[in-house]
Structure 1
Amino acid sequence: MSERKSERKSERASERAERLPVFKTYKLYVGGKFPRSESGRVYEVTDSKGTWLANAPLSSRKDARDAVSAARKAFGGWSGATAYNRGQVLYRVAEMLEGRREQFTAEVAAAEGLSRARAAAQVDAAVDRWVWYAGWSDKVAQIAGSANPVAGPYFNLSSPEPTGVVAVLAPQESSFLGLVSVLAPVVVTGNTAVVVASEDRPLPALALAEVLATSDVPGGVVNVLAGRTRELAAPLAAHQDVNAIDLAGAAGDAELATELEVAAADNLKRVVRPGDGAADWSADPGTERLLAFLETKTVWHPVGA
């Protein structure tokens, strides 16, 4: 009897040892849904040591156009929401991320080759940044708007309004904190976004899409693409229905940044160029990106009317 038990234990141990791991195949996030790439292509994502982590979708130009269409469709509802409501939605994203802290810590550690402690610090900073921008939602008008003195019986008021659809090239090196630092200020001010994730480190961005889908962010407000940055950036920069582009993901490639800026000039897109040196995404973000994609509307109103 004891021999049979020993044999069964040995068989179970052998089965566990021979089990193949199930690698996840991530999908795009477009219009609140998770479609496969139109081309059906995927590519292998590895960690800093070359170990295979998962498969990521290799987006095509068609996927980029679909993402822009979804962002445009969502713009009216999102830009028309109250600033208070947008702040609540961003805070909800922070709550969801806090609940999945361990998952994102593991993904950032694998993607960037960081120790678990340093990766956890990056994740905590990213969650705090969502909260920080959520707090700005109903306050940005106080620094971007004004009541203007005029010579006449009128009130003259200037107020900020969102630019529209913003293409965001996520930073290549900072796969999560850098991503949040460029995405949150775009959406909190009422814009919608098409995000091109870090080419070699896309998994934190694709996992963030799963968080967005289960929070209160309306479908189409944020759309996430993965693949070759140069291949996706060109059609986004030239797209006539994209109103602005953040070139953070082109840092270190001055030629690409210049090409995209020239393409963006065709319909007078707003452009945020990457800095000359390596960005410190852990530093105080200030209000530069918060104000980058806002327009100013000025209204004249008769006194007493």
Structure 2
Amino acid sequence: MPESAEPGVPAGRLAVRKTYKLFVGGAFPRSESGRTYEVRGANVALASRKDLRDAVVAARAAQPGWAGATPYLRGQILYRVAEMLEARAAEFGALGVAAAEVAAAVDRWVWYAGWADKVAQVRGNANAVAGPYFNLSVPEPLGVVGVVAPADGPLLALTSVLAPAVVTGNTAVVLAAAAHPAAALTLAEAVATADVPGGVVNLLTGRAAETAPWLAAHRDVDGLDLTGLTDADLARECESAAAETLTRVRRPAPEDFAADPGTGRLAAWLETKTVWHPKGR
């Protein structure tokens, strides 16, 4: 009997090859178009405009419940994502993700999880006013955030743009870097087993040039992170489309994802609500 070509598979048995699907609404559907592309010998779903619309619908439906969860609970759930990534370290290694990057991504999820119940104290304020009133500024989530993930690394860069978007109560539609779909979808598998409600994170694979303009123009997307776009013309097209609906845009710029992330990305996807309340006598 001939030996198997796959390590760890008994001789004479063909290994089941994995087909990487999309991650939408907590499920793993194939692209409605039926299209795939190949990366490192694996078939990966090629997302269509219809897939993107489905992802935005899922994100919008999940957003009120996720925003309504207590910050402590959101932090615990994101910490669970870190635990799931740690448990899959060997799997990421087999996909070509360096052990140091996996460790950094795990730490980044833990770091943002810790901010869940602290961001209100840092970004909010009790304002001094001339009158018998309390005046309070409170940060609130923006809504649905579209993200074009950078190709700087398979896992850490994706974590660095996704975690700060969702920790404060937003939901996300992410266009994964075309060169690293397997690592992105393995992260999605960790998210799916970490008690993250379906629709909070939605991840599409394929070509950003096909889907990013539709994401930018979608009227139910509130924020747009173009960090992963390296084509200046495409970035301008997306920014122009987003302007039609007053969508908040984070423009692409060089970024060191291994550095201290600070709170800039947390603040980028927050609104500030200021309320007045009369003081009692």
Scaled by the length of structure 1, the TM-score of the pair is: 0.88
Task: Tell me if structure 2 keeps the 8 A contact 1:244–1:271.
Answer: yes
Aligned-pair distance for 1:17?
A: 6.5
| Matching of residues 27-106 of structure 1 within 5 Å | 27-46=21-40, 52=41, 54-106=42-94
2:169 match: 190
Relative distance call for 1:152 and 1:227 in structure 2 (3 A) is same
2:218 match: 239
1:203 match: 182
Q: What is the percentage of aligned positions where both structures have the same residue?
A: 66
1:171 matched to 2:150? The reply is yes
Q: Secondary structure at the match of 2:228?
A: helix
Aligned-pair distance for 1:105?
A: 2.1
Report the Cα distance in structure 2 between the residues aligned to 1:132 and 1:301, rounded to whole angstroms.
34
What is the alpha-carbon root mean square deviation over aligned residues? 1.6
Deviating 4+ runs (over 4 angstroms) = 12-21
| Matching of residues 1-305 of structure 1 within 5 Å | 11=1, 13=3, 20-46=14-40, 52=41, 54-109=42-97, 119-250=98-229, 252-275=230-253, 277=254, 279-304=255-280
Q: Which amino acid aligns with 2:215?
A: L
Report the Cα distance in structure 2 between the residues aligned to 1:66 and 1:78, rounded to whole angstroms.
18
Relative distance call for 1:156 and 1:62 in structure 2 (3 A) is same
Which structure has the bigger radius of gyration?
1
Aligned-pair distance for 1:175?
A: 1.8
Scaled by the length of structure 2, the TM-score of the pair is: 0.95
Task: Tell me if structure 2 keeps the 8 A contact 1:172–1:201.
Answer: yes
Report the Cα distance in structure 2 between the residues aligned to 1:38 and 1:29, rounded to whole angstroms.
13
Structure 1 regions of 5+ residues with no counterpart? Answer: 1-10, 47-51, 110-118
Report the Cα distance in structure 1 between the residues aligned to 2:35 and 2:48, rounded to whole angstroms.
9
Task: Tell me if structure 2 keeps the 8 A contact 1:170–1:182.
Answer: yes
Q: Which amino acid aligns with 2:82?
A: A
Q: Which amino acid aligns with 1:67?
A: A
Larger relative helix fraction: 1
Aligned-pair distance for 1:20?
A: 4.6
CA offsets, 1:57-106, max 9 Å, x none?
A: 00000000000000000001001111111000000111111111111122
Task: Tell me if structure 2 keeps the 8 A contact 1:108–1:176.
Answer: no
Report the Cα distance in structure 2 between the residues aligned to 1:190 and 1:57, rounded to whole angstroms.
28
Structure 2 regions of 5+ residues with no counterpart? Answer: none
Report the Cα distance in structure 2 between the residues aligned to 1:25 and 1:144, rounded to whole angstroms.
43
